[in-house]
Amino acid sequence: MEKIPGPKEDIFNHNQAEVLKERTRELVGRVAEGDFACLMFLDNSARPIAWMFQEAWKKYVPDKKRPAIRFVNIGREKGDVVDWDGMGPYKGDYAAEDEYKSAVTDFWLKLDSAEYVQKLKKSFEEIFTDSKNHSVLLVDDYISSGFSIELAQQFFRHHFPNISLESHGFLKKEDENVFWRARWNGTHLPWNSDKAYTLLKEDTEHPERVTSQPERDPVERQKGLILKEEIKDMFVNEEPIRLDNSR
């Protein structure tokens, strides 16, 4: 278990903070120029990225309306639930179209997502009302094999076939040295090994759920609250950025 940082003990060192600000600046720039209607952050790992995005948006593009933010709990563990091997049911394995469609429906029903999808459909109706498009950006903290982001893409293409979908990996391959940890593959952020930093907790009893469970323990929650304060302080002195409107 990660230790709780003290009141004057930073979670990120200087180099890490600078990389996080740069990557957040890139994300804000892409979203502002791409005119996305909604950002969908993958829980639990991208929840703190959403906090960074929200703080940075107010500083980098203060005169621009921020797109809606939503969350979905889709990660590698959901692949185990649906027996995901990089793709869902293969159409060529079925003699009839209705058999294939039934197999696809059964495949996604392995996830407990009916209530989530119903609520999100209503939410999307409101979000897209004031938008020229139905564009959604899926955001994960780091894309290595692409397993989680591809599963999330397929999930949304199945349940929301009319949206325009793109994806974004927050940290890059070159950031591995800055966020290195022994015996850890790829970048390591505090919440990768201790979900309390996200103010959420592992729901090992219900791995099929696509919604996250809040952390209620006041001691554990301190990690996430301290992280949110550090993120807020990280962007205090940031200034507006210039957008490339030539695209």
**pLDDT for residue 210 is more than 80:** yes
**pLDDT for residue 64 is more than 80:** yes
Most confident of 48-52, 61-65, 77-81: 48-52
**pLDDT for residue 246 is more than 50:** no
The mean pLDDT value for 58-81 works out to 92
* Helical axes 218-234 vs 14-34, angle rounded to 10°: 70
What pLDDT score was predicted for residue 7? 52
What pLDDT score was predicted for residue 85? 79
The answer to which of 46-50, 86-90, 122-126, 217-221 has the lowest mean pLDDT is 86-90
pLDDT in tens, 82-124: 888 777 888 888 888 999 899 989 999 999 999 999 999 999 9
Q: Contacts for 230-233 with beta carbons within 8 Å, 24 or more apart?
A: 230/10, 230/11, 230/12, 231/48, 231/51, 231/52, 231/55, 232/55
The mean pLDDT value for 146-169 works out to 92
Percent of the chain with pLDDT over 70: 94
**pLDDT for residue 8 is more than 80:** no
pLDDT in tens, 183-196: 888 899 999 999 99
What pLDDT score was predicted for residue 132? 62
What pLDDT score was predicted for residue 10? 86
Is it true that the peptide bond before 44 is cis, omega within 30 degrees of 0? yes
